């Protein structure tokens, strides 16, 4: 799409591209999408205009985040389904609001301390064993950490703006560290190792709670949860408001 001689969007989605084309002849204003290709390197992102606000490189073969330091206006970065192990370099993107890193090989959360504008973060389906590095993200509203190796809920105390928290399919044994998340509306803890339901009494805004697939039996927590959470609309697969 062109507007007044400026390329508003460049979309080369699903084209079997192996490397980013040269972009020095284009002034791309808002969006670049090279998802679902075979790109291995982000080197030519250096040629992308610093006016770009959204960059999509999902489902490629990228192993390293690089060449993004000049993208000061970037608000969305999508790098899901790649081969990334280290996320440190995202620290340069101070205006970022959405960061999508699902289905990579990340073992440690890093580089997020400066991203205080972040509202959505996905690091699901990686290799995380601990929740840390999130303390400065006071504006974060949605956090997706399912399908990792997490054993404990920790490091979330300062994330008081969270409305969605996805911790499904981990190795979590106890419901703890949730007390300050008073704006939480959706909480997914299904398919963990939780034996006792507790620590949700303060979550008065909760509408959706998934706990199925845990050792704790449903009949042991259903009545308690409904009593604690008067606004709850869905518990596991059951609609409570019907």
Write the pLDDT tens digit of every residue in 170-191.
Answer: 999 999 999 999 999 999 999 9
Region of poorest pLDDT, from 41-50, 60-69, 163-172: 41-50
Q: Which domains does the chain have, with CATH numbers?
A: 1-127 (3.80.10.10), 141-242 (3.80.10.10)
User: Residues 6 or more apart from 223 whose CB is under 8 A from it?
Assistant: none
How is residue 70 written in tokens? 């000049």
What pLDDT, on a 0 to 100 scale, did the predictor assign at position 9? 63
Which conformational region is residue 167 in: left (phi greater than 0), alpha (psi within -120 to 50 degrees), or beta?
alpha
Which conformational region is residue 81 in: left (phi greater than 0), alpha (psi within -120 to 50 degrees), or beta?
left
Q: What is the pLDDT of residues 183-224, one digit of tens each?
A: 999 999 999 999 999 889 999 999 999 999 999 988 889 999
DSSP state of 113: T
For the chain, report the end-to-end CA distance as a whole number of angstroms. 46
3-state DSSP call for residue 31?
strand
What pLDDT, on a 0 to 100 scale, did the predictor assign at position 5? 47
> Which element (helix H / strand E) includes 225?
helix 218-228
What pLDDT, on a 0 to 100 scale, did the predictor assign at position 2? 43
Share of the chain residues as helix, strand and coil, in percent rounded to the nearest 5: 10, 15, 75
Q: Is the pLDDT confidence value at 1 over 50?
A: no
> Residues 191, 171: contact at Cβ < 8 Å?
no
What sign results for the dihedral spanned by CA atoms 34, 119, 153, 239?
A: negative
The model's pTM is 0.91
Q: What is the pLDDT of residues 68-85, one digit of tens each?
A: 999 999 999 999 999 999
**In whole angstroms, what is the distance from residue 59 CA to residue 57 CA?**
7
Q: What is the DSSP string of 77-93?
A: EE--SS-----GGGGG-
**In whole angstroms, what is the distance from residue 232 CA to residue 35 CA?**
37
Residue 225 main-chain phi, psi, to 5 deg:
-65, -45
Higher pLDDT, residue 135 or 237: 135
Band of residue 157 on the pLDDT scale cut at 50, 70, 90: very high
């Amino acid at each position: 799409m062109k507007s007044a001689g400026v390329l508003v969007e460049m979309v080369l989605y699903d084209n079997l591209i192996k490397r980013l084309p040269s972009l020095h002849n284009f002034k791309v204003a808002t969006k670049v999408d090279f998802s679902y290709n075979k790109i291995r390197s982000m080197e030519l992102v250096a040629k992308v205009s610093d006016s770009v606000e959204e960059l999509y490189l999902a489902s490629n073969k990228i192993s390293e985040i690089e060449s993004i330091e000049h993208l000061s206006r970037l608000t969305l970065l999508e790098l899901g389904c790649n081969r990334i192990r280290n996320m440190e370099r995202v620290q340069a993107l101070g205006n970022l609001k959405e960061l999508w890193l699902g289905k990579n090989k990340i073992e440690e959360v890093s580089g997020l301390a400066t991203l205080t504008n972040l509202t959505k973060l996905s690091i699901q389906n990686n290799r995380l064993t601990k929740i840390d590095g999130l303390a400065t993200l006071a504006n974060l509203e949605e956090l997706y950490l399912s399908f990792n190796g997490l054993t404990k809920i920790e490091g979330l105390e300062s994330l008081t703006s969270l409305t969605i928290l996805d911790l499904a399919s981990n190795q979590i044994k106890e419901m703890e560290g949730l007390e300050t998340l008073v704006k939480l509306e959706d909480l997914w803890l299904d398919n963990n190792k939780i034996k006792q339901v507790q620590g949700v009494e303060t979550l008065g805004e909760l509408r959706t709670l998934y706990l199925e697939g845990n050792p704790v039996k449903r009949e042991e927590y259903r009545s308690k949860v409904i009593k604690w959470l008067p606004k709850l609309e869905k518990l596991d697969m059951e609609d409570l408001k019907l």
